[in-house]
Chains A and B, each alone.
Chain A
Amino acid sequence: MVYENPDGVKIGLEVHVQLNKLKTKLFCGCSTDYHNDEPNTHVCPVCLGLPGSLPVINERAVEFAIRIGLALSCEIVEQTQFHRKNYYYPDLPKGFQTTQYDYPIASKGKVIIEGEDGERVIRITRAHMEEDPGRLQHIGTIEKSKGTLINYNRSGMTLIEIVSEPDMRSPKEARRYLDKLRSILDYLDVFNGDLEGAMRVDANVSVFGGERVEIKNISSFKGAERALLYEIMRQKNHVRRGGEIVMETRHFDEARGVTISMRTKEAEHDYRYFPEPDLVPLRVAERAPEIQKALPELPDARRERFLRQYEMSNMHARALTNEIKVADFYEDVAGKVNPKDAAVWVADILRGELNYRDLGIDAFAAKDIVTIIELVTENRITEQSGVEVIRTILDHGGKPQDIVKDKGLLKVEDDIVAKAVKEAIAENPEAVTDYLGGKEKSLNFVVGKVMQKTKGRADAREVRERLVKDLNDQS
């Protein structure tokens, strides 16, 4: 079925990714590990913009950028040069942001997502490198601010800005795109998406072929979906009432779930870009083939392989390859038990329980799920008990074997004993008659038979008690 896109929605996204897995900032040797530290303790003359300081490019940052570009199927630029984007804001210690301008390091790429009507290609316009500004904190409320505090620890962190074409037709597709992007970046090991500010999103959206509106201040993927849903509704209503959409920038108010016009005059922005004289050009395209060769297997390729290698459903393959940690976890488990069983248990059951608790795959040990799957496939516990063991581990901790014992979940084993007892009674009528006739010792013979049938796994005392009970019930 083809998605009609009845409102002519076009969404483009600009995603800022902070390469926090680099050890140092883009232009200086300050450590990137500032997230838990005091303000202004990860700065030097360069990232503080002190007079006379000069930038020097972090080589690994460039390699990371090329890695990202290649993973997004981009062309890598032959030669580029950092530019200055000139504007005044207190978080910018030099009064300009150092960024790539006319020649982004990567351009013309694509990301494939699961769209409204099947696979959909989202074109990547460009991906360029730039430096992160410092962090502002308002004293008091925004409306009645008494001043602004500035912490430059973040200043100079490497950002990659990934700009898409307006190829998404719904907030759902936008969300899928963001998830996919994060998935790819995770695989590339260039950033830790869990750290604050690791991924920041600006969106632009238009309906019915009208002017596009930019939405800023989106702080999460969920926020992006909500902001877009609201903004599309607002634009549709506005047009329906005979209004016209004007090109503008709007601010997403996360708490109220609405977008608010920032009323900025575009004419006031004139960034006066020019090449940074303190940095020489980058001629790095020749590094691309080597970096390409070293690229890890990416989510799409891994999904294809999972389908082939483990013969799982498409849904499972997708679920298991979105996050590199989940995929690694799965392959660890699949190496020890039947891969199909592993797929069901990891993709459906374990992930369901983890999502419910807002936990990542890190919260569960692969060897525990292996044990649980073994218990179930050996018929020693029921599937339901397996789920109970997972829940218990997540909520209270513990080892699967102990939990099974403590909770008496070895129900399958009970059944075996019961069956053996019944059989032994039926097969040894003489001994039974002797016992019922008062010959106590005859019972030992029947117990021995049960033990034979259960290959000694049953507890002899339990077997005796059960025999006594069954025979008494019979008579």
Chain B
Amino acid sequence: MVTWTDISGIKQKIAESSAEEVTASYLEKIGKSCINGFVRTWDRALEVAKAIDAGDQEGPLAGVPIAIKDNISTTGLSTTCSSKILQGYVPPYDAHVIGKLRDAGAVILGKTNMDEFAMGTSTESSYYGATLNPWDTDRVPGGSSGGSAAVVAAGEAPVSLGSDTGGSVRCPAAFCGVVGLKPTYGCISRYGLISYANSLEQIGPLATCVADIAALMDVIAGHDHRDSTSINRENNYSEALKDDVNGLKIGVPEEYFGEGIDEGVEKAVWDAIGKYEDMGASWKKISMPHTKYALASYYIIAMSEASSNLARFDGTRYGFRADGDNWHVMASNTRAEGFGDEVKRRILLGTYALSAGYHDRYYLKALKVRTLVKQDFDRALSEVDVLMGPTMPTPAFKIGEKIDDPLSLYLADVNTVPVNLAGVPSISVPCGFSEGMPVGLQIIGKHFDENTIIRAAYSFEQNTAHHTRRPREVV
């Protein structure tokens, strides 16, 4: 049975056996999984792998299995945002990234579990139940792309796609000890990504190593005329895979080590920064004074946009429909029964924040604060090449620990949300352990300077062994 293999390992296995055998072994492993990372597998995966073996399809990812977050539309494969309200919904079209993956020969294994509509930091709010962290099944895998991170960490897929609105790729990557990238806003087409907060989110890859992140980016990034916010800019990500940080200037925002940071996390991150110094980089402390307001700004913007983005789920055209003798009653019942508690709370708060009398105080104010946060990044990144800090202030917490206290969950996103407000790219790489749980180092770059953070992450990986540690087989 395959396990913890990167793309080059997969290609070697395909050469030795076949794409079909590789895919079959993953499906077998998924079938025995107890972490609830996949919400459904694709019944045509083997067929696609066979076609690759037959030589019908070539491409940089020919035969490479991949797991897709349940909010990225896949033709013929149900896509539900792990919500009751989208039960039975089968998209009649592919997301842009899915088309790119199919063209590159990737084999879609299935859809991964997530916080309902990507609203969460723990993957506990899924209609399908929580995903478990493969390192410790009493703990959460992080979220909202918890399934996508957990299946990679557990060796149930070599690579996966998630989406990152306020840390939803980087948080679970950190909690599960894998690599996750949130690209620059506009770098990857969002066409087909079911929106939570569209001014903030990007699709992002997760993998066991930085090289695979670059390989996926080379396939999925790039301009798409169907997404008006997609930027037309060519880049080769794999070219950034160089073990060289000589002269790299690192900024360490002191605000990222604020109140409530776990000691083990703090130590692992400082050790990593020390390692960079050894490798020839320099670092300095830097201040980003509006970081403490980023969370409130982020949540107001995200909830406001979400309240509108999720308005289309009214039981009329697809998905779950409740009873009701007129349309408005039907829609209200459908939404009351079809959405989970956290989604409903965010829709209500977002509706409130946009409503007459509160729009300026909440929504508009949050957008102004967003400007200040962005200016912090502009200033800091004019002085240094990259920013580094802990992805998450703590290691993965226990399942159920925070689910009843929304605010405490929101606070966990303190270091990830500023990045989305500013639209800059950020990667989380494993940098050590605390309480036996993985710790993630966050490396933030300038707009469209993915290559610098990829190079920094790759160099770290080449000179450390954190990423080679794997959870023991969970059965």
Chain A residues near B (Cβ < 8 Å) = 45, 48-57, 84, 86, 88, 90, 93-96, 148, 150, 270, 272, 274, 277-280
10 contacts between A and B (CB under 8 A): A52-B73, A52-B191, A52-B194, A54-B228, A56-B227, A93-B317, A95-B313, A272-B354, A274-B305, A278-B190
Majority SS at the chain B contact face: loop
Least distance between A136 CB and chain B CB atoms (Å): 10
Cross-chain contact of B327 among A54, A148, A277, A278 (Cβ < 8 A)? A148
Cross-chain contact of A54 among B86, B191, B307 (Cβ < 8 A)? B191
**What separation, in Å, do the CA atoms of A26 and B193 have in the docked complex?**
21
* Chain B 63-86 interface residues, beta-carbon cutoff 8 Å to A: 71-73, 79, 81, 86
Nearest-CB residue, chain A, relative to B327: A90
Annotate B158-190 by CB proximity to A: 1 below 8 A, 0 otherwise: 000000000000000000000000000000001
Q: With an 8 A cutoff between CB atoms, is B311 at the interface? A: yes
> How many chain B residues touch A (Cβ–Cβ < 8 Å)?
46
**What separation, in Å, do the CA atoms of A70 and B226 have in the docked complex?**
30
**B residues in contact with A57, CB < 8 Å:** 228
Which of A45, A53, A84, A93 is most buried by chain B, counting CB atoms within 10 A of its CB? A53
- A50→B91 contact, CB < 8 A: yes
**B residues in contact with A95, CB < 8 Å:** 308, 310-314
Cross-chain contact of A88 among B199, B228, B331 (Cβ < 8 A)? B331
Q: With an 8 A cutoff between CB atoms, is B102 at the interface? A: no
Least distance between B24 CB and chain A CB atoms (Å): 30
- A272→B228 contact, CB < 8 A: no
**What separation, in Å, do the CA atoms of A279 and B351 have in the docked complex?**
21
**A residues in contact with B79, CB < 8 Å:** 51-52
Nearest-CB residue, chain A, relative to B195: A52
Q: Contacts A93-B317, A95-B308: A277 and B351 contacting too (C-beta < 8 A)?
A: no
Q: With an 8 A cutoff between CB atoms, is B355 at the interface? A: yes
Q: With an 8 A cutoff between CB atoms, is B225 at the interface? A: yes
**A residues in contact with B228, CB < 8 Å:** 54-57, 278-280
Cross-chain contact of A56 among B190, B199, B225 (Cβ < 8 A)? B225
- B351→A272 contact, CB < 8 A: yes
**A residues in contact with B355, CB < 8 Å:** 270, 272
- B327→A272 contact, CB < 8 A: no
Cross-chain contact of A86 among B193, B195, B226, B311 (Cβ < 8 A)? B311
Other A-B contacts than A93-B316, A95-B312, 19 sampled, CB-CB below 8 A, are: A45-B92, A48-B317, A50-B317, A51-B81, A51-B86, A52-B190, A52-B193, A53-B93, A54-B191, A55-B228, A56-B226, A86-B308, A88-B331, A94-B311, A94-B312, A95-B308, A148-B327, A270-B356, A272-B307
Q: Contacts A88-B328, A272-B354: A52 and B192 contacting too (C-beta < 8 A)?
A: yes
**What separation, in Å, do the CA atoms of A48 and B93 have in the docked complex?**
12
Q: With an 8 A cutoff between CB atoms, is B252 at the interface? A: no
Least distance between B329 CB and chain A CB atoms (Å): 11
Least distance between A62 CB and chain B CB atoms (Å): 13
**What separation, in Å, do the CA atoms of A84 and B350 have in the docked complex?**
14
**A residues in contact with B316, CB < 8 Å:** 90, 93, 150
Q: With an 8 A cutoff between CB atoms, is B89 at the interface? A: yes
**What separation, in Å, do the CA atoms of A49 and B317 have in the docked complex?**
9
Cross-chain contact of B308 among A50, A148, A272 (Cβ < 8 A)? A272
Q: With an 8 A cutoff between CB atoms, is B198 at the interface? A: yes
Q: Contacts A57-B228, A272-B354, A272-B355: A277 and B191 contacting too (C-beta < 8 A)?
A: no
**B residues in contact with A53, CB < 8 Å:** 93, 191-192
Q: With an 8 A cutoff between CB atoms, is B229 at the interface? A: yes
**What separation, in Å, do the CA atoms of A280 and B199 have in the docked complex?**
11
Q: With an 8 A cutoff between CB atoms, is B363 at the interface? A: yes
**What separation, in Å, do the CA atoms of A94 and B309 have in the docked complex?**
8
Least distance between B357 CB and chain A CB atoms (Å): 9
- A272→B359 contact, CB < 8 A: yes
**What separation, in Å, do the CA atoms of A279 and B225 have in the docked complex?**
12
Q: Contacts A55-B228, A270-B355, A278-B228: A49 and B198 contacting too (C-beta < 8 A)?
A: no
- A278→B194 contact, CB < 8 A: no
Q: With an 8 A cutoff between CB atoms, is B288 at the interface? A: no
Majority SS at the chain A contact face: loop
- A52→B95 contact, CB < 8 A: yes
Which of B197, B304, B328, B356 is most buried by chain A, counting CB atoms within 10 A of its CB? B356
**A residues in contact with B317, CB < 8 Å:** 48-50, 93
6 tightest A-B contacts by CB?
A: A95-B311, A277-B199, A272-B354, A51-B194, A277-B198, A52-B192
- B312→A49 contact, CB < 8 A: yes
**What separation, in Å, do the CA atoms of A94 and B313 have in the docked complex?**
8
**B residues in contact with A86, CB < 8 Å:** 307-308, 311, 354
Q: Contacts A51-B73, A51-B86, A57-B228: A274 and B198 contacting too (C-beta < 8 A)?
A: no
**What separation, in Å, do the CA atoms of A434 and B308 have in the docked complex?**
108
**What separation, in Å, do the CA atoms of A280 and B73 have in the docked complex?**
23
Annotate B340-375 by CB proximity to A: 1 below 8 A, 0 otherwise: 000000000001001110010001000000000000
Least distance between B197 CB and chain A CB atoms (Å): 8
**B residues in contact with A278, CB < 8 Å:** 190, 195, 198, 227-229
**B residues in contact with A270, CB < 8 Å:** 355-356
**A residues in contact with B226, CB < 8 Å:** 54, 56
Q: Contacts A272-B359, A277-B198: A54 and B190 contacting too (C-beta < 8 A)?
A: yes
Nearest-CB residue, chain B, relative to A40: B317
**A residues in contact with B192, CB < 8 Å:** 52-53
Least distance between A137 CB and chain B CB atoms (Å): 13
Nearest-CB residue, chain A, relative to B328: A88
Least distance between B220 CB and chain A CB atoms (Å): 15
Nearest-CB residue, chain A, relative to B355: A270
**What separation, in Å, do the CA atoms of A280 and B225 have in the docked complex?**
13
- A51→B327 contact, CB < 8 A: no
**What separation, in Å, do the CA atoms of A228 and B304 have in the docked complex?**
40
Nearest-CB residue, chain B, relative to A44: B93
Least distance between B408 CB and chain A CB atoms (Å): 28
**What separation, in Å, do the CA atoms of A49 and B198 have in the docked complex?**
15
Which of A57, A86, A88 is most buried by chain B, counting CB atoms within 10 A of its CB? A88
- B229→A50 contact, CB < 8 A: no
**A residues in contact with B351, CB < 8 Å:** 272
**What separation, in Å, do the CA atoms of A50 and B327 have in the docked complex?**
19
Least distance between A133 CB and chain B CB atoms (Å): 12
**A residues in contact with B328, CB < 8 Å:** 88
**What separation, in Å, do the CA atoms of A45 and B307 have in the docked complex?**
20
**B residues in contact with A45, CB < 8 Å:** 91-93
Least distance between A69 CB and chain B CB atoms (Å): 22
**What separation, in Å, do the CA atoms of A126 and B111 have in the docked complex?**
48
Which of A50, A56, A93, A277 is most buried by chain B, counting CB atoms within 10 A of its CB? A277
Least distance between A45 CB and chain B CB atoms (Å): 5
Least distance between A282 CB and chain B CB atoms (Å): 11
Least distance between A30 CB and chain B CB atoms (Å): 13
- A50→B93 contact, CB < 8 A: yes
**What separation, in Å, do the CA atoms of A84 and B226 have in the docked complex?**
19
**What separation, in Å, do the CA atoms of A280 and B89 have in the docked complex?**
29
- A277→B73 contact, CB < 8 A: no
Which of A51, A86, A95, A278 is most buried by chain B, counting CB atoms within 10 A of its CB? A51
**What separation, in Å, do the CA atoms of A96 and B229 have in the docked complex?**
20
**What separation, in Å, do the CA atoms of A270 and B190 have in the docked complex?**
29
**What separation, in Å, do the CA atoms of A96 and B81 have in the docked complex?**
21
Least distance between B427 CB and chain A CB atoms (Å): 24
**What separation, in Å, do the CA atoms of A277 and B73 have in the docked complex?**
20
**B residues in contact with A55, CB < 8 Å:** 228
- A96→B308 contact, CB < 8 A: yes
Nearest-CB residue, chain B, relative to A136: B327
**What separation, in Å, do the CA atoms of A19 and B402 have in the docked complex?**
53
Nearest-CB residue, chain B, relative to A85: B308
Cross-chain contact of B312 among A51, A277, A279 (Cβ < 8 A)? A51
Which of A48, A150, A274 is most buried by chain B, counting CB atoms within 10 A of its CB? A274
Least distance between B332 CB and chain A CB atoms (Å): 9
